Structure 1
Amino acid sequence: MSAPAAPATTAGPGTREATPSGPSTIPRTMQAVVNHGPERYALETVPVPVPGPGEALVRVEAVGICASDLKCYHGAAKFWGDESRAAWAETEVIPGHEFVGRVEQLDDEAAARWGIAVGDRVTSEQIVPCWQCAYCKRGAYWMCAPHDIYGFKRRTPGAMAQYMVFPADALVHRVPGDLPPAHAAFIEPLSCALHAVERAGIRFGDVVVVAGCGPIGLGMVAGAAATSPAAVVALDSADHKLDLARRCGATHTVNIARDDVVAAVHALTDGLGADVYLEGSGHPSAVLQGLTLLRKMGTFVEYSVFGSDVTVDWTIISDDKELDVRGAHLGPHCWPAAARMLESGRLPLADIVTHELPLSEFQRGLDLVGDGTASIKVALIPG
């Protein structure tokens, strides 16, 4: 963790004010996607950000697009159908929070704090903690009250650009250098999936059900399998995603469009129900499905982005089953493990990362994620 530092000033469309300093090989301008409001993203030429004291300039190699990027693109109010809700992201900000890049410029302070040097391949945890709020002081930095996540706030411009700056308060990790850039950028969603698995407290004899075989769900499958439970059951409506889940470690798969999921899980557990349910689909129906599948005193872990409100009978949680229902947010303390898992080749990333697009095709990337059927993981390659 870094020591607290004063926040850097910002200017322009989510970039720091350019100055003449820095190596001559670094250009003065770059291409970047800029958020001007709901469904008003544009590829623009903006100043290359200049790192301040204790910061690092990073040349972005790849940046993934996830469901929360899509939600920001549509604007929270429009996305939820409730104009009273505030937007997730500030405008005039460069989006993108799952990324990998190469260090181009940093001072001795940054090099010593993070243990990195020019040329190293690095990533930064998606949240830049303040290190001063009540949550940061108690060690829960991922719940930081200001919640400055790359690509959401003007203080923390994101990675849909050719260059970005890691602020002095950032958490920085090295990434295996031999991975293709789009595969290396998968460290962010994988760390999130592993945190959800940690929240579940899986035991060796457990039957674990994972709902959804998108990027987060496949990471959950791999993470759950690594804990060696009795069974890992993957649920999805697409057979090709279920095949990927098998390759990630699922022992059983169920196509929810064809098969009776409850009957399948009950058959596997002698009618008892699953011990753990990891929800990674973001579909409202998956919530009731999980509550129904779980045995009494089972554990439900929620980690997804929903497109609409979810209503269930909470009596199932309390009077019927006395369930443990846990949320999971970001990927705290899981980034080194995610890097090791990527390097091990445990995940079939060549088939999980289905699309690698130039930055100029960001709109196509957003549309692919929104469609949800023609892609699994979409990455932009700014270079």
Structure 2
Amino acid sequence: MNDLPKTMKALVAYGNGDYRLETAYPVPECGEDDIIIKTEGCGICAGDLKCQHGAAMFWGDEKEAPWVKPPFIPGHEFVGRIVKMGSQVKGFSLGDRITADQIVPCGECRFCKSGRYWMCQPHSIFGFQNTNNGGMAEYVRYPKTSVISRVPEDMPLDQALLIEPYGCSKHAVDRAQIGNEDVVVISGAGTLGLGMITYARMKNPSKLISLDMADNRLEKAKEFGADITINPGREDVVQRILDMTDGYGCDIYIEATGHPSSVVQGLKMIRKLGRFVEFSVFGEPTTVDWSIIGDRKELDLLGSHLSPYCYPFVIENISNGNLKTEGVVSKTFSLEEWETAFDYATGKYGDFKVAITFA
């Protein structure tokens, strides 16, 4: 299919709070190094919601310049089939089912040249800038430097849509360097937290503990491999962790909620010389006693960003069932229903991952 339509349906962000469904938006042009896919589906990320709600980290404020470049098409958790390729594209065929890392590396900065492409200095990401539009549209362009992975033909769409978030989960858990004697606490059991739980289970820690304020999420975490689940809204979770570790605290704490209270909670419950991994995107600043990290506990404090080199493992282990996925994509909507989809993606109705799908 090399003759594409001229226009398509797309959700387009024109400005802060100005998101519009377009029915005749231009289909992306295919350069000689580009690939055009027809989108099968696109998951809705917490980052998409925070951007749509006007978070300053995207749209800027009196301290920071805007990061987004409207008009842009949101969405970075998408998968589709190749419908057009440039003359210089090698190794792919029309009809191939593919996905790509969230970031489109420049290939030229010091990070890219040293293999650390996920920290690319220009930092172009699908779904936030008009130079790399995202998956909430019928067609998407993959530029030359996209980090593309093949998606198995027999992988159901509800599993394929978890490749990107589970890739991020894997990177966070890898940063934690879990050993089989470690007591590991993962705070948050949404889609990313569940991905961390099912992957961390493969590391066989001494204790794998999941925290969340929602009981249905804790039930899913137990199903995915957590040894212990605790609701901090009903229990003193810090004291519980201290009690089960002879007063020392957990060895590893992975923060996956994006709520300031989870950071404070983690610093209280982690042992001296412990490892704290921060994954989340926050909607507001977090204030903590910074001396806990240095003078009082000498912690290893690590960040986790995106999903470098993770897709091949994630695709293989979703396919073979080692990474559990059942029930994570809990609702799908058409693009015309995007407002309802974004509402459900907040999780307030009990959903994990919500996605937009295309016929």
Q: Tell me the TM-score normalized by structure 2.
A: 0.95
After TM superposition, which residue ranges in structure 1, 4 or more long, deviate above 4 angstroms?
Answer: 78-83
Q: Distance in 2 between matches of 1:62 and 1:358?
A: 9
Describe how 1:25-64 pairs up with structure 2 within 5 A: 26-44=4-22, 45-64=24-43
Instruction: Look up the match of 1:106.
Output: 85
**Are the structure 2 counterparts of residues 124 and 80 from structure 1 closer, same or farther at C-alpha, using a change threshold of 3 Å?**
closer
Pairwise CA RMSD: 1.8
Instruction: Please tell me whether the aligned partners of residues 209 and 277 of structure 1 are also in contact (alpha carbons under 8 angstroms).
Output: yes
Q: Please give the per-residue CA displacement for 1:22-66, whole angstroms capped at 9, x wherever unaligned.
A: 723x32211000001111111102121132112111011010111
2:218 to 214, 236, 242: 242
1:163 to 131, 135, 139: 139
Gaps of 5+ in 1: 1-21
Instruction: Look up the match of 2:311.
Output: 335
The residue identity in structure 2 corresponding to 1:276 is I
The residue identity in structure 1 corresponding to 2:129 is K
Q: Distance in 1 between matches of 2:47 and 2:31?
A: 29
Instruction: Please tell me whether the aligned partners of residues 76 and 85 of structure 1 are also in contact (alpha carbons under 8 angstroms).
Output: no
Name the SS of the counterpart of 2:12 in structure 1: strand
Shift of 1:354: 1.4
Q: Distance in 1 between matches of 2:78 and 2:212?
A: 27
**Are the structure 2 counterparts of residues 368 and 83 from structure 1 closer, same or farther at C-alpha, using a change threshold of 3 Å?**
farther
**Are the structure 2 counterparts of residues 204 and 379 from structure 1 closer, same or farther at C-alpha, using a change threshold of 3 Å?**
same
1:142 to 102, 118, 139: 118
Shift of 1:301: 0.3
**Are the structure 2 counterparts of residues 207 and 342 from structure 1 closer, same or farther at C-alpha, using a change threshold of 3 Å?**
same
Question: Is the counterpart of residue 344 in structure 1 residue 323 in structure 2?
Answer: no
Shift of 1:83: 4.3
**Are the structure 2 counterparts of residues 350 and 227 from structure 1 closer, same or farther at C-alpha, using a change threshold of 3 Å?**
closer
Q: Distance in 1 between matches of 2:180 and 2:131?
A: 44
Instruction: Please tell me whether the aligned partners of residues 121 and 177 of structure 1 are also in contact (alpha carbons under 8 angstroms).
Output: yes
Instruction: Please tell me whether the aligned partners of residues 63 and 182 of structure 1 are also in contact (alpha carbons under 8 angstroms).
Output: no
Question: Is the counterpart of residue 307 in structure 1 residue 286 in structure 2?
Answer: no
Q: Distance in 2 between matches of 1:279 and 1:203?
A: 18
Gaps of 5+ in 2: none
| Percent of matched pairs sharing the same residue | 45
Instruction: Please tell me whether the aligned partners of residues 131 and 137 of structure 1 are also in contact (alpha carbons under 8 angstroms).
Output: yes
Instruction: Look up the match of 1:358.
Output: 334
Shift of 1:109: 3.3
Q: Distance in 2 between matches of 1:258 and 1:359?
A: 38
Equivalent residues, number: 358
**Are the structure 2 counterparts of residues 153 and 352 from structure 1 closer, same or farther at C-alpha, using a change threshold of 3 Å?**
same
Instruction: Look up the match of 1:292.
Output: 268
Shift of 1:135: 1.3
2:71 to 61, 70, 92: 92
Instruction: Look up the match of 1:14.
Output: none
Q: Tell me the TM-score normalized by structure 1.
A: 0.89
Shift of 1:382: 2.8
Q: Distance in 2 between matches of 1:79 and 1:89?
A: 6
The residue identity in structure 2 corresponding to 1:226 is M
